[in-house]
Amino acid sequence: ATRATQHVPTFNSTIFAHRGLPSRAPENTLAAFDLAADEGATWIETDVDIIADGTPIIIHDTALDRTTDHRGKLYDIATAEELAGIDAGSWFAPEFASERVITLDALVDLLNRRKLNANIEIKANEQGAERTIVLVDAIASSLARLDDEREIIISSFSQPVLMTFHARHPEYAIGVLYETAALYDDWLSVLELCGASYIHPEDAGLTRERVQAFRDAGYGVNVWTVDARDRANELLNWGATGVFTNIADQLIR
Ligand code: G3P
Ligand code: CA
């Protein structure tokens, strides 16, 4: 599919199932995303980076240790075939032993099949202009297989990555991630430089005035990571457009 027009944010309240439903299935696996869809989620959040041969894969950490039975760094994995032998579920519970670290292509198939939209956070742990171009083009090439109705937000803490993505693939909506401590007064010019539609601030320390200022500047505001129902309601009442949450099943109900 070609995505000919710039995504126009609708700014409805959006519950992003963060890494799927990580309290009930191993994070960032097909099982976790399927479960989120079963529970009524329409948006998921996930993390992407590339392995040695440039294949985009779905994983949060730079190393495989925490979420698989394999020890070592992501960049030492040569090909997607190598990933197929790695168990990404047993660490969570024995019944998930068949879960794998999936490619972005496999995630795209799932988004199409389950009619899910996705915030795709680019981890980009390995910096450098050349590698960044490989990374963003590989991600865009996978996303080209999405059905036209599917919505995507590309986010990152890395502003160079977002600027490169926006310059090369301007048809995708961009969200700029901020930790509270890094949120200085230059956020408006950063959002403009990145071609962003959204700002994704950290929940800690976020105030009604901040949320209002982001909205008044015309941006959608999706807050991470909000695991308490009262706080999610408060943020959405302040005008936040969405929350990333590990308890999407409870917030949707
Ligand atoms: O996208 C929001 C959130 O996922 C960013 O932090 O560490 O959970 O990827 P992290
Ligand atoms: Ca993330």
For residue 244, the ligand 1 atom closest to its alpha carbon is 2
The backbone torsions φ and ψ at residue 130, rounded to the nearest 5 degrees and listed phi first, read -65, -45
- Evaluate if pTM is beyond 0.90: yes
pLDDT at residue 5, as a whole number = 45
What residues flank ligand 1, with Cβ below 6 Å?
A: 18, 45, 47, 60, 121, 155, 177, 200, 224-225, 244
Say which ligand is closest to the CA of 244. Answer: 1
Nearest ligand, measured from the Cα of 16: 1
129 C-beta neighbours (distance < 10 Å), count: 8
Three-state DSSP class for residue 54: coil
Smallest Cα–Cα separation from 115: which of 153, 147, 155?
A: 147
- Distance (Å) from CA 122 to ligand 2 centroid: 8
Q: Which residue has the higher pLDDT, 97 or 185?
A: 97
Helix (H, G, I), strand (E, B) or coil at 146: coil
Q: What are phi and psi of 39, to 5 degrees?
A: -85, 0
DSSP 96: G
Q: Name the closest-CA residue to atom 2, ligand 1.
A: 224
Right CATH for 14-62+103-252 from 3.40.50.10490, 3.40.50.300, 3.40.50.1000, 3.20.20.190 = 3.20.20.190
ipTM attached to this prediction: 0.98
Q: What is the mean pLDDT of residues 230-238?
A: 96
- In the chain, where are the structural domains located? 14-62+103-252
143 CA to middle of ligand 1, Å? Answer: 20
Q: How far does the centroid of ligand 2 lie from the alpha carbon of residue 61, in Å? A: 10
Spatial CA neighbour of 16 closest among 146, 194, 200, 206:
200
pLDDT of residue 124: 78
Q: Enumerate residues 6+ apart whose C-beta is below 8 A from 94.
A: none
**Span 204-226, pLDDT tens digits:** 999 999 999 999 999 999 999 99
Q: CA 51, CA 117: separation in Å to the nearest integer?
A: 24
